[in-house]
Amino acid sequence: MAQVKNRLTPFFENITFERDDNELVLNFGPQHPSAHGQLRLMLHLQQEQIVKAHPDIGYLHRGMEKMAENMIYNEFMPTTDRMDYIASSSNNYGFALAVEKLIGLEVPRRAKVIRMLLLEINRLMSHLFWLATTALDIGAMTVFLFAFREREYLMDIIEGYCGARLTHAAIRIGGVPLDLQDGFLHQLRVFLNKLPQNIKDYEDLLDSNRIWLMRMEEVGVISTEMALSWGCTGPMLRASGVAWDIRKEEPYELYDEVEFNVPYSDKGDNYARYRIYMEEMRESAKILYQCIEMYEKCEKDGQTELMAHAPKYISAPKIDIMTQNYSLMQHFVLVTQGMRPPVGEVYVPTESPKGELGFYINSQGDPYPYRLKLRAPSFWHTGILTDLLPGHYIPDVVSIIGTTNIVFGEVDR
């Protein structure tokens, strides 16, 4: 029998596209340049106005929670990179912190500072990427080129640190694997000194741009109640009038030692979200300057530890493994069998660039987590489109999807 090559029938073929009541059903995605990944939207239209929106997700579903149940804890770390792949260190960090809370580890100060440097660089990378792609969706090509240029410098710095540009896996359970490379701080300083002028350039291009304002102002308004009810977090929530930043309210790492502000707005529209991303970049730069100082102080005080000392859970430093028999044996057990955290459960939220990234881990004392739930902010930021899009017009769909800043690695997991 010859193969019937063309049996792949589209899922929407049983839907009537044009109906008697003048309502048109438009299928948007899952392959659409402005869908930011694999978003599929079923839009019911009256003329150009949307009366019903039905987001459909799952086109990038890889079953990460299932994978986690079948992997030892350290093995899962590179998989977390593939969630929010625009800022992958923040996922690494969320997972590492959750396991550390579970086993009750204290991370050395120098590792904490390096982690904060990485997290804030990731936040800048993510926000620059957001600005670039959203501006491109709206039609501002120049901003796209400018913001990608700056993001490139940050990726170079990260590449120097961990060898990867996108999927970093730069953080380990119990600390960080490496010290900063030579020139890291210098390169970062050079970048940060230029950043205010760069941000001003973007703002000069966008802030009072007539087209930008028309597409942004009073479009996609999310009320405070709606944002809370839909589980919005991060810039989405702060643009809707709630000044809630986990770094500030439930500080982790050394965020209680650095000074920064939490920008928020009570407008709730696209423009408010745009302003929040811009202001957060400035705040991140502020934090980075303080982290550089902290790092230099660590260096001066001779704090060289990068990994926590917990022989039951964490391998000894390489020098011990190479010279001491017992460390080598322990390392061998931890690599082949994996660490066995205590029995219990933990939910640890962190402020990723997109919002609240939470890891729920239920451990039964085995090397494999019994249940691991990934709480990704973008999941709910996609869900809110159901209630947000009706009443808007087709062009607004693109700008609203843009400002929600959803990443599908994270939505589908």
Partner 1 sequence: MRAYKPKDNVQAKAYYTDRFYVAPQVPKTAVEEDAVFAADLAAIKAKFAVKEAYIQVEQMVIYINACDIYGVLELMRDELAYTQLSEMSAIDWLAKDNSFEIFYQMLSMTKRKRIRVKYFIQKGEAVDSVEKLFRSADWSEREMFDMFGIEANNHPFMKRILMPYDWEGYPLLKSYPLEGDEFAAWYEVDKIYGKEARDIIGPELRDTARVDSYDSERFARLGHEVPKGTKITGDEPAVSQSYQEEDGVFLIKKLDKESSVIIDDPQR
- Cα–Cα distance measured from residue 280 to residue 177, given in angstroms and rounded to the nearest whole number: 28
Length of the chain: 413
Angle value at C-alpha 409, between 404 and 410, nearest 5 degrees:
60
Query: Which of 12, 17, 61, 296 is the binder for partner 1 (CB under 8 A)?
Result: 61
**Binders of partner 1 in range 123-162 (CB under 8 A):** 153, 156-157, 160
Query: Which of 94, 220, 234, 358 is the binder for partner 1 (CB under 8 A)?
Result: 358
- Cα–Cα distance measured from residue 68 to residue 99, given in angstroms and rounded to the nearest whole number: 13
**Binders of partner 1 in range 361-400 (CB under 8 A):** 362-368, 370-371, 373, 375, 379-380, 383-384, 386-387
At 18, phi and psi to the nearest 5? -125, 135
Site string for partner 1, 168-187 (x = CB under 8 A): ---------------x---x
Site string for partner 1, 15-54 (x = CB under 8 A): ----------------------------------------
**Of 128, 129, 120, which is closest to residue 188 (Cα–Cα)?**
120
> Cβ distance 79 to 168 under 8 Å?
no
H or E stretch at 40: strand 40-46
Rank residues 47 and 193 by Cβ distance to partner 1 and give the closer one: 193
Choose the stretch contacting partner 1; rule: CB under 8 A; options: 1-9, 20-28, 41-49, 141-149.
1-9
Rank residues 1 and 319 by Cβ distance to partner 1 and give the closer one: 1
Q: Is 196 in the site for partner 1 (CB under 8 A)?
A: no
- Cα–Cα distance measured from residue 93 to residue 207, given in angstroms and rounded to the nearest whole number: 34
* 8 contact partners, CB below 8 Å, separation of at least 6: none
Query: Which of 163, 342, 391, 395 is the binder for partner 1 (CB under 8 A)?
Result: 342
Q: Is 311 in the site for partner 1 (CB under 8 A)?
A: no
Size of the site for partner 1 (CB under 8 A): 71
Q: Is 360 in the site for partner 1 (CB under 8 A)?
A: yes
H or E stretch at 50: strand 49-56
Q: Is 69 in the site for partner 1 (CB under 8 A)?
A: yes
Instruction: Dig out the tokens for 139 from the structure.
Output: 């039609």
Q: Is 344 in the site for partner 1 (CB under 8 A)?
A: yes
* DSSP per-residue codes, 315-379: PPPHHHHHH-HHHHHHHHHHHHT---PPEEEEEEEEEETTEEEEEEEEEESSSS-SEEEEE-HHH
Give the nearest distance from C-beta 237 to partner 1 in angstroms. 9
Q: Is 70 in the site for partner 1 (CB under 8 A)?
A: yes
Give the nearest distance from C-beta 225 to partner 1 in angstroms. 9
Choose the stretch contacting partner 1; rule: CB under 8 A; options: 30-38, 223-231, 389-397, 400-408.
223-231
Site string for partner 1, 240-269 (x = CB under 8 A): --x-x----xx-------------------
Say how many C-beta atoms besides its own lie within 10 A of residue 301's C-beta.
10
